């Protein structure tokens, strides 16, 4: 997760992002950053933030904002507020490079979306004109539904098309993409500790995880070994490596063995005193039997994953509630 002072370079979109205040630093209330350059392509097209209030303040250059059928050009020192759910478009006006301060309330996962764009740029998934390649765009739609969408066509149509593209990609590549979210009635720190330390899984994620071995508490670079099962009649052995650890918010790992892929746990306190858990899991079935059966039994494999997640939901909350802190 970014922190204040971090910079993202996204040259394919013609912009640089400088983070000023992030979700982690404002308890999720605000994301504050500057956009420097001349954004082009899809960021300059009409779009909607369904749940966020967006404030633009021009620091240098000029910004044209179109909203509600009217267009306005803002110069240095001028600001504009865009209510949630309002279709709008903004882009640099005139020949100069612009510098605009953007505030989004609440922050949601917009910083992660911006990081994704930088990663896609580096991976060659954005065209010279600043538009995402189809599968990259589809994944953005499915992974960030609350942070924004194009003004047209209707959001339901966008999501349906995106899901279809992702499904076709999964079928052709033997890839599974899962996103699971739920709320836990326990402190965020206790929830994070349980999710980050895989050695605890056999205690609360029953009967899925049978054994987990690791040399110590979680740390970037740490390797652990898991033996687990689902409802289907096979057991799996994997090795996981922690690649990102940001207590008490995010832990991510790469997995090898009978399953190969990557997973990210994101932990967020909620206004109601609970903790929101999100698990992003992209995996490839490398076990020979799974490879052979994937085209036929894909729905069954998804059912197996859903069953395993339900066991996590059952066990995580009471385990985290017992945390002595």
Domain boundaries, the chain: 7-167, 175-321
pLDDT in tens, 162-184: 888 787 666 655 677 899 999 99
d(CA 264, CA 133): 24
Range with lowest mean pLDDT among 124-128, 129-133, 214-218, 291-295: 291-295
**In DSSP terms, which residues pair with 66 in a beta bridge?**
71, 89
Architecture of the domain delimited by 175-321:
2-Layer Sandwich (3.30)
| Number of C-beta neighbours around residue 151 at 10 A | 14
d(CA 88, CA 91): 11
Please provide the DSSP assignment of 72-109 as one string. EEE-TT-EEEE-TT--EEEEE-SSSPEEEEEEEES-TT
Distances (CA, A) of 98 to 61, 89, 93, 137, 155: 4, 15, 8, 26, 30
Sheet hosting strand 235-246, strand order edge to edge? 175-184, 275-285, 259-269, 250-257, 235-246, 223-229, 209-214
Strands of the chain, DSSP E: 7-10, 15-21, 31-37, 47-48, 53-60, 63-67, 70-74, 79-82, 88-92, 98-105, 149-150, 175-184, 209-214, 223-229, 235-246, 250-257, 259-269, 275-285
Pick the CATH number of 7-167 from 2.60.120.10, 3.40.50.2300, 2.30.40.10, 3.40.50.300: 2.60.120.10
**What is the chain's alpha carbon radius of gyration, rounded to the nearest angstrom?**
21
**Residue 175: phi, psi to the nearest 5?**
-105, 145
d(CA 203, CA 220): 23
Question: How do strand 223-229 and strand 63-67 relate by DSSP bridges?
Answer: unpaired
Contact 244, 263 (CB under 8 A): no
pLDDT in tens, 238-256: 999 999 999 999 999 999 9
Give which of 181, 191, 145, 144 is closest to 309, Cα–Cα.
181
pLDDT band at 232 (very low <50, low <70, confident <90, very high): confident
For 287, the token pair is: 């076990």
d(CA 223, CA 241): 5
The predicted pLDDT at position 234 comes to 72
The predicted pLDDT at position 283 comes to 83
d(CA 25, CA 191): 19
**In DSSP terms, which residues pair with 211 in a beta bridge?**
227
pLDDT in tens, 32-64: 999 999 999 999 999 999 999 999 999 999 999
The predicted pLDDT at position 67 comes to 94
Sheet hosting strand 47-48, strand order edge to edge? 70-74, 63-67, 88-92, 47-48, 149-150
The predicted pLDDT at position 186 comes to 95
Please state, rounded to an integer, the average pLDDT across all residues of the chain: 90
Question: How do strand 149-150 and strand 47-48 relate by DSSP bridges?
Answer: antiparallel
| Side-chain half-sphere exposure of 242, counting CA atoms within 13 A | 23
The predicted pLDDT at position 296 comes to 55
d(CA 288, CA 302): 18
**Residue 263: phi, psi to the nearest 5?**
-135, 145
The predicted pLDDT at position 45 comes to 93
pLDDT band at 130 (very low <50, low <70, confident <90, very high): very high
């Amino acid at each position: 997760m970014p922190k204040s002072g971090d910079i993202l370079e996204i040259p394919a979109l013609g912009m640089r992002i400088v983070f000023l205040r992030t979700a982690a630093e404002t308890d999720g209330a605000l994301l504050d950053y500057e956009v420097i350059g001349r954004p082009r392509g899809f960021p300059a097209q009409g779009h909607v933030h369904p749940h966020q209030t967006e404030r633009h303040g021009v620091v240098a250059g000029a910004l044209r904002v179109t909203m509600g059928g009217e267009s306005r050009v803002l110069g240095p020192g001028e600001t504009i507020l865009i209510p949630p759910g309002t279709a709008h478009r903004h882009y640099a006006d005139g020949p100069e490079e612009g510098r605009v301060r953007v505030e989004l309330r609440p922050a949601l996962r917009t910083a992660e979306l911006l990081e994704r764009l930088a990663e896609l740029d580096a991976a060659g998934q954005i065209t010279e004109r600043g538009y995402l390649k189809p599968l990259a765009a589809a994944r953005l739609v499915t992974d960030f539904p609350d942070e924004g969408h194009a003004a047209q066509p209707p959001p339901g149509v966008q999501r349906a098309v995106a899901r279809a593209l992702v499904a076709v990609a999964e079928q052709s590549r033997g890839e599974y993409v899962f996103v699971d979210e739920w709320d836990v009635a326990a402190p965020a720190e206790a929830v994070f500790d349980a999710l980050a330390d895989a050695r605890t899984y056999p205690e609360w994620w029953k009967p899925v995880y049978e054994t987990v071995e690791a040399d110590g508490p979680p740390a970037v670079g740490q390797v652990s070994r898991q033996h687990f099962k689902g409802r289907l009649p096979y057991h799996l052995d994997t090795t996981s490596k922690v690649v990102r650890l940001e207590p008490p918010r995010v832990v991510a790992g790469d997995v090898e063995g009978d399953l190969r892929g990557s997973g990210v746990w994101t932990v967020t306190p909620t206004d109601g005193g609970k903790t929101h858990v999100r698990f992003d899991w992209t995996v490839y079935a490398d076990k020979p039997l799974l490879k052979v059966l994937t085209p036929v039994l894909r729905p069954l494999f998804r059912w197996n994953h859903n069953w395993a997640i339900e066991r996590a939901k059952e066990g995580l909350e009471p385990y985290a509630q017992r945390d002595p802190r």
